[in-house]
A and B are shown apart, each in its own frame.
Chain A
Amino acid sequence: MGFNPLFDALKKHALHDYNLVLSLDPKNPKYPDWVIIISFYMALHAVNAHAAQAGWNWSKYSKGDPYKISRHSQTLRYVSKQLGKDVFKKYNRLYQECWNARYDPFFLKNITPSEASILFELGEDVLSILP
């Protein structure tokens, strides 16, 4: 397979996120919410890269956006169809926790560093789908 510039850019973006989250000590994080949020976006960029590499029909899933799948529900559909149940479950859990980390004011008092660490590992698992 030839060089795919979109795949390359999206993969680099995912790895950029990975390096950022590593800098937050994800095994014992002081900022568990940010570890979760960045882990999710790392996973999201990995999925977009996967779709770019697979030559996915973007127009069907990205209304007006040429670089990524434009709605989370459509990304989840892609994950479900193309990456299997195990990745779907991991990705969805990360998505839900990321959403709660951003929008639920009670999130911080309830999340533990060990739970954030588990979520980071889920993000690593999703990242591993990339060649």
Chain B
Amino acid sequence: MSKTIICEVSEEQRNDDFSCSPTRVNLCGPLMMEKEKYAKLEEQLKSMSNDENGKYRKYFFTLLNNLEFSFQFNALLDIFKMDLSEISELKTVYYFAKSNRVTFWVFFENRNWTAEDQVYEAYERLLSIFPKYDVTLKILRLDGRKPEELLPIGGFRILGV
């Protein structure tokens, strides 16, 4: 019979809004296994270029959806961050997460449809890879302002692209 236990999470995870509550895992699939799976995924993601996106998507889909929920969330952030880091025109990215809802605010200095198209591609990839998440994207132009002047008050974190 499968039992459910409450596991402690690391300090790093505790600082993350999304996983600040204790993480539920099955006794038969302990947290360490999730960590190992995620570490493997992270390692492979780092070694991939954007050109390989189409090739790796199917392979990772299975792996990602087998990850425990908060690890999936970390993977979602990492994949988006990796894709966006290729866009030099992009100024900064903030995100807000609550339950299975994630909102990204992506900032450019001015309107740049060519670069923004790359963000749409990355966003579409997230929708396809993470069907359990409700992901919202906003693209904003700073026009000389600071991101903090445009963000709604509270709860947003910088993605660090």
Contact = CB atoms under 8 A, between A and B. Distances in A.
Interface of A: 71-74, 76-77, 80-81, 85, 88-89, 92-93, 96, 99-100, 104, 106, 110-111, 115
A85 B139 contact: no
Interface in B115-161: 116-117, 120-121, 123-124, 127-128, 134-141, 143, 145, 150
A76 B111 contact: no
B143 A110 contact: yes
13 contacts: A76-B127, A80-B124, A80-B127, A85-B121, A85-B124, A88-B124, A89-B120, A96-B137, A100-B139, A104-B141, A104-B150, A110-B110, A111-B111
B113 interface: yes
A110 B120 contact: no
A77 B111 contact: no
Contact of B116 (A71, A81, A93, A104): A93
A30 to B, nearest CB: 20
A115 B143 CA distance: 17
B136 A72 contact: yes
B151 to A, nearest CB: 12
B140 A100 contact: yes
Contacts of B143: 106, 110
A89 B117 contact: yes
B131 to A, nearest CB: 8
A73 B141 contact: no
Contacts, number: 47
B39 to A, nearest CB: 29
A21 B141 CA distance: 25
B111 A110 contact: yes
Contacts of A80: 124, 127-128
B120 A92 contact: yes
A74 B141 CA distance: 24
Contacts of B123: 92
B141 A106 contact: yes
A56 B150 CA distance: 36
A96 B138 contact: yes
A89 B121 CA distance: 8
A89 B122 CA distance: 11
Nearest to B136: A73
A111 B111 CA distance: 9
Contacts of B113: 93
Contacts of B124: 80, 85, 88, 92
